[in-house]
Structure 1
Amino acid sequence: MRNLIPIIIALLIVSCANEKQHDLTVKGTIKDLKKGTVYLQKVEDSTLINVDSMTITGQKEFILHSDLESPEVFYLHLNKTNEDSDRKIVFFADKGTTEIHTTLKDFAFNAEIKGSSQQEKLEEYLKMMERFNDKNLDLIKTEYDAKAVNDSTLIEENQKAFENLLKSKYLYTVNFAVTNNDSELAPYLALTEIYDAQIKWLDTINNALTPKIKNSKYGRELESFINKRKNEQ
C-alpha cells in the first residue's frame, strides 16, 4: 500500500497539470428555468458564433468557458426548449470569472452581472444612454403631435432638437471613451455606438488610447475601421 501512495500522488499531479485552464469562466443561475440550453457566444469575423453551451435539466447553476485574448463583449443566449426565443444578455468579459444571475421571465432585463471593470463602465455608460433614449421618445411624441395638427414651425424646431440630441449623444460617447482611454470599452463604443460619426471624432478616441488598448482586439479593429473610412473618402 505504501508503494502505491507515490504513484497515486504522481497520477493526481499529472491529471491536474493536464486539466485545461480556461481564460474565461461564466457561471450563474436562471431562476425558474427547468429545461433549456444556454450558449456563450461572441462575434468572430463579423459572425456571431457559439463558443460553449450547457443543457439545463433542473440543475440550478450553469458554467461555461472560453479562451480570451483580451477583454471583449460576449453574449449569454437562452434557447428554451419548445419555445422560439431570442434572449440574449450582453456583457463585457475579462480573464477570470464572470457571474450572471437572472430570471426566466425577464432574462435580459433582470440580469445581475459581476465580473470585469469593463462591465462596470459599460453599465455606467448605458445608464446615461437611457436618459438620451427617454429624451428621444419625448421628441418622437412631439413630432407625432405636431404632424397631427400640421404645425410646420413645431416640426422644424423638433427636427433641430433631434439633431442636437444626436450630437450630444455622440459628444458624450467621445468624452466617455477618451476619459476611459485605458479600457477596452473605449474603442468598442467607437465601433458600436458612433461608427457613423465624423472621422475626426473617431480619431480623437483612437489617438487617446493607451498603447495596451491600441493593441487589444477592439483597438486594432478601430484603427482598421478608421483607415477604411478614410480610404473610401
Structure 2
Amino acid sequence: MKKTIAVLAFSILVFACTSKKEGNMLVQGTIKGLKKGTLYLQKMQDTVLVSVDSVSLLGSDKFLLTDNVDSPVLYYLTFDGNTTNKRILFFGEQGNITINDKVEQFGFSPEITGSKNQEVLDKFYKIKGKFQNQRLEFIKKDFEAKKANDQALVAQLEKDYLKLTKRRILFTANFAITNSDSEAIPYIGLTEMYDASLKMLDTVNNSLSEKVKNSVYGKSFQEYIDRIKNSEK
C-alpha cells in the first residue's frame, strides 16, 4: 500500500513538472556562452512591455519558451545579468520559431527561422540598410561642403537627398504592396512610412488582405490613417 502511494505521488510530481502550459507558438534555440541566467519572452500589451514566459538556465544554453498568439506581433527575447539592456526583437506567430545567438553579441545578428513575417521584415531591413548607408554618405558630404563653404554643392546635395528620400518612400510602398498578405507590412507602414503622402498610405492599406487588415498592426495602421484624415478636415 505504501509502495503504491509512493508511486502515485511520484507520478503526480512528474506530471506537475512536465505539464507546463504550451501555447500555439514555441520559441526554441541556443544562446552560445549563456551558462547561467533567465531568459524572458516579452511583448507589448497596452504600451507596457510584459513577460509572457521565462526559463532559468543553469549549465545549458538551450531554451524553450511559449505563448498563445492570436495575431502575429513583435516579441522580445531578453535575459538577466550584465546585458539586461540587450534584446532580440522578432516577429512572433503560430508555429515553431528557432532563435540562435551568442551571449557576447546578444541581439546583434541572431539567426531566426520559422517566422514568415520575420522573413519579410528581414528582407525589408536588408534593402533599407542600403538607403541608410546612402543617407550617411549624404550627411558626410553635406558637412564637408558646408565646411568648405561650397554653396553650389550644398544646394545640389539637398536636391539629391530629396530624390533619395522619394526613392526610399516609393520602395517601401512597392515592397508593402508586393507583400500585402504579411502582417509585417502594416508594422512597416507604421514605423517606416511616416513621411509618405496620405494617398500612398491609402494605396498600401487598400492592398492589404482582409486577414492582415484584421491583425493587430493592420487595425493600428487603419487607425493611423484615420487620424491623419481627421486632422486634415
Q: Would the TM-score normalized by the shorter structure come out above 0.5? A: yes
Going from structure 1 to structure 2, the CA distance change for 1:62 and 1:162 (only over 3 Å counts) comes to: same
**Which residue of the partner structure matches residue 65 of structure 1?**
66
**Which residue of the partner structure matches residue 39 of structure 1?**
40
Cα distance in 2, alignment partners of residues 154 and 23 from structure 1: 57
| C-alpha distance after superposition, 1:190-228 (max 9, x if no partner) | 011113422111111111111111111111111111111
**Which residue of the partner structure matches residue 182 of structure 1?**
181
**Which residue of the partner structure matches residue 203 of structure 1?**
202
**Which residue of the partner structure matches residue 133 of structure 1?**
132
| C-alpha distance after superposition, 1:75-127 (max 9, x if no partner) | 11233x2x254112121121011100000111122310011111111111111
- Kindly report the root-mean-square deviation, in angstroms, between the aligned alpha carbons of the 2 structures: 2.2
Determine if contact 1:76/1:90 at 8 Å carries over to the other structure. yes
Cα distance in 2, alignment partners of residues 194 and 60 from structure 1: 39
Cα distance in 2, alignment partners of residues 232 and 22 from structure 1: 41
Cα displacement (A) at 1:21: 3.7
Going from structure 1 to structure 2, the CA distance change for 1:59 and 1:214 (only over 3 Å counts) comes to: same
**Which residue of the partner structure matches residue 119 of structure 1?**
118
**Which residue of the partner structure matches residue 226 of structure 1?**
225
Helix, strand or coil at the partner of 2:50: strand
Determine if contact 2:78/2:84 at 8 Å carries over to the other structure. no
Aligned partner letter, 1:159 = E
Aligned partner letter, 2:27 = V
**Which residue of the partner structure matches residue 89 of structure 2?**
90
| C-alpha distance after superposition, 1:27-65 (max 9, x if no partner) | 111111122332212222223222222233221211111
Helix, strand or coil at the partner of 2:105: coil
Determine if contact 1:93/1:115 at 8 Å carries over to the other structure. no
Helix, strand or coil at the partner of 2:112: strand
Aligned partner letter, 2:192 = E
Cα distance in 1, alignment partners of residues 39 and 97 from structure 2: 15
**Which residue of the partner structure matches residue 74 of structure 1?**
75
Cα distance in 2, alignment partners of residues 127 and 218 from structure 1: 21
Cα distance in 2, alignment partners of residues 85 and 20 from structure 1: 26
**Which residue of the partner structure matches residue 57 of structure 2?**
56
Aligned partner letter, 1:58 = G
Determine if contact 1:139/1:162 at 8 Å carries over to the other structure. yes
Aligned partner letter, 1:178 = I
Cα distance in 2, alignment partners of residues 22 and 86 from structure 1: 26
Identity between Structure 1 and Structure 2 (%): 40
Cα displacement (A) at 1:158: 1.4
Q: How many residues align?
A: 220
TM-score by length of structure 1 reads: 0.86
Cα distance in 2, alignment partners of residues 144 and 39 from structure 1: 43
**Which residue of the partner structure matches residue 20 of structure 1?**
21
Cα distance in 2, alignment partners of residues 19 and 88 from structure 1: 24
**Which residue of the partner structure matches residue 30 of structure 1?**
31
Matches within 5 A, 1:143-154: 143-154=142-153
Cα distance in 2, alignment partners of residues 54 and 21 from structure 1: 13
Determine if contact 2:98/2:114 at 8 Å carries over to the other structure. yes
Structure 1 unmatched runs, 5+: none
